[in-house]
Amino acid sequence: MCGIFGYIGKDKKPASLILEGLKSLEYRGYDSWGIVVISNGILKRERHVGKIGEAKTVLPQTTTGMGHTRWATHGGVTVINAHPHFDCSEKFAVIHNGIIENERALRRALIKKGHKFSSQTDTETIVHLLEEVSKNNKKNNLSLVDQVRLATSKLEGAFAIGVIDRDRPEESVLARFGGPLVVGITDGYKLFASDPTALLPFTKNVIYLKDREIAWITPNKVEIRSFENHLKRSKIHVLDWDVEESKKGGYPHFMLKEIMEQPLSLTDTMRGRIRDGGLVKLGGLESVKEQLRDIDFIRFIACGTASYAGLYGASVIQELTSVTADVEIASEFNYGSFNWPDRSAAWFISQSGETADVLKAVDRVKREKILSLGLVNMVGSSTAQATTAGVYLHAGPEIGVASTKVFTSQMISLLMIACWLAQLRGEGEKSRQVAKQMALLSKLLSAVLNSRQVLKEIARELVSKSQIFFLGRGRNYPLALEGALKLREVAYIDTVGMPTGELKHGAIAAMDKDRPAIIFAPSDGMEMKNRSSVQELKARDIPVYVMTDKSGRKKFTDVADRMFVIPDVHPILQPILLAPIVQILAYEAGVLLDRSIDKPRNLAKSVTVE
């Protein structure tokens, strides 16, 4: 999620070159940044909050250095939390992408040993660990690689780190376990980055570091070893992207990239939060635990896609706990009359955290002295700051205007919140079973994404239709709304999203051959009801596309015009596996109709006006 860029050598102007590298990573939308260089045996650093923009560096242009653009996870968006981080003696500097899960235990142990922490970041534990290793091995004359190996062996979680040592001005060490790292090969100096995009202006020759590998880099050499200290052969890849293309990871649009990276973003959202035995841990809610133990009512407040995730959240909270939950659209909430029973909480869901309607609703709720909580992607955003406590999505930056990977991260977070609440209140038996199943999601989601071709063919049939009806029941009803919104905003096709059971109460009058239905009908106990709905549509010559699962497919083979089948999964997780369907349909339809995929007309990523 964060951006990393480093330079090893002395011929170029390192500080300016690193700054250029960081600028080219900024498309990901970062919240703070920093650079360190080695100057006459001293680490010189600058750190800033906000975008890099047109910034110029004030650092001396001496030798090796590295920089970082931060997407905050542990600790707010402040200069002190920005990377690079130093140890107490300012010998080592570390930059890090990832999350250290045993950060609290490590920090406690290091503080006991006398280390002084200056930030709230998990990253700072790495650099103090390194200092500890160095102190304990003074006589052994360990290489920087060996010291990094010993220090990282204590880490749990995910990390891609860059390390420099003020006493070794012409070397750097990288270690990778979970986050991307690429080394750029040129004559006379070397580079490294978290994303090959940033290397492209300088070189097309790169070495991708694999998980559990450590790289030792000097101006003329790159040596790669495993965590177990075995020398590895490093293959040089030649990049054949142009710079613009590469930011999208080889995909033609950010929207497609973000759809396809959902197995990873879901893993990031769940990382460290589901413990053995299905126990859910949400550190951001610790401070309001006692209030939530006795809560009777939760009202989710959000806009657009986030409000549909909220509908799913309300339904799973009611399924797994005795808490009553509902959803209000922020713009409606702001001007309506709403009662709050005793022991209520308002929970704001927002990718950007900057949506004006949501912020206005936060204000109102706070004035009414209701507990206000957030479910936000952008760390340190206005909603995150204005709410009393909350949960971050950790889905990574979403660039495409149409929300995709954030929608699934919102759903899985809401499910974790429901499980956490159930466990907190002693209602957790079912929730533990559900939480254990969540571990399977990423793999199953990859299987759904691999069947993209089938959805592309369906999209080809849809683009010529006058109107499309998305139908769903229960937990899958929010998908009908999201499907209608996605196709409307990306492909500009007229759509309707509604509960399947409402068809006969009006809508079916407007449907015909040119106005087909897409129905979400996995095996969730409603198969026979859904089959009847499909038959009613077919009896009127209305085409029906059935989105079901492996167990459900036999109920529809004789009635559906076409089917798309997802793998079997616990019914409560079905909407998360079905979600990419609506995203891919919208994407493919948009491409076929030559729409502006990443920036649909009249829309903005962050709606900061009412």
CA separation, residue 434 to residues 233, 279, 349, 551, 570 (Å): 43, 10, 22, 19, 7
Contact 144, 178 (CB under 8 A): no
67: β partners: 5, 35
Helix (H, G, I), strand (E, B) or coil at 119: coil
* DSSP conformation class of 1: -
Nearer to ligand F6R, 227 or 492 (CB): 492
Contact 268, 315 (CB under 8 A): no
CA-to-CA distance for 363 and 384, rounded, in angstroms?
A: 13
Instruction: Supply 157's token pair.
Output: 């979680």
Instruction: Supply 68's token pair.
Output: 């970082």
Please say if 2 is a catalytic residue.
Answer: yes
CA-to-CA distance for 373 and 325, rounded, in angstroms?
A: 14
Catalytic entry in 2, 23, 303, 405: 2
Nearer to ligand F6R, 181 or 579 (CB): 579
CA-to-CA distance for 416 and 411, rounded, in angstroms?
A: 9
Question: Min. distance of Cβ 594 from ligand F6R in angstroms?
Answer: 19
Question: Min. distance of Cβ 580 from ligand F6R in angstroms?
Answer: 14
Task: Find where tokens 């492909």 sit.
Answer: 491
Question: Min. distance of Cβ 304 from ligand F6R in angstroms?
Answer: 2
Binding site for ligand F6R (CB under 6 A): 303-306, 350-352, 355, 358, 402-403, 485, 489, 606-607
275: β partners: 279
The 3-class secondary structure across 513-556, one letter per residue, is: CCCCEEEECCCCCCHHHHHHHHHHHHCCCCCEEEEEECCCHHHC
Question: Angle 429-438/405-424 helices, nearest 10 degrees?
Answer: 150
Which element (helix H / strand E) includes 587?
A: helix 574-592
Nearer to ligand F6R, 430 or 599 (CB): 599
Nearer to ligand F6R, 11 or 610 (CB): 610
Nearer to ligand F6R, 42 or 604 (CB): 604
Question: Min. distance of Cβ 143 from ligand F6R in angstroms?
Answer: 47
Question: Min. distance of Cβ 90 from ligand F6R in angstroms?
Answer: 39
Beta-carbon count within 10 A of 426 CB = 8
Instruction: Supply 252's token pair.
Output: 């033609």
Question: Min. distance of Cβ 381 from ligand F6R in angstroms?
Answer: 9
Please say if 135 is a catalytic residue.
Answer: no
Nearer to ligand F6R, 94 or 402 (CB): 402
Catalytic entry in 281, 366, 465, 605: 605
Cβ neighbours of residue 553 closer than 8 Å, sequence gap 6 or more:
563, 565
Question: Min. distance of Cβ 377 from ligand F6R in angstroms?
Answer: 7
Question: Min. distance of Cβ 186 from ligand F6R in angstroms?
Answer: 40
562: β partners: 545
Contact 367, 394 (CB under 8 A): no
Nearer to ligand F6R, 92 or 348 (CB): 348
Nearer to ligand F6R, 486 or 555 (CB): 486
DSSP strand E in 377-418: where? 389-392
Instruction: Supply 392's token pair.
Output: 């971050």
Helix (H, G, I), strand (E, B) or coil at 480: helix
Residues annotated as part of the active site:
2, 605
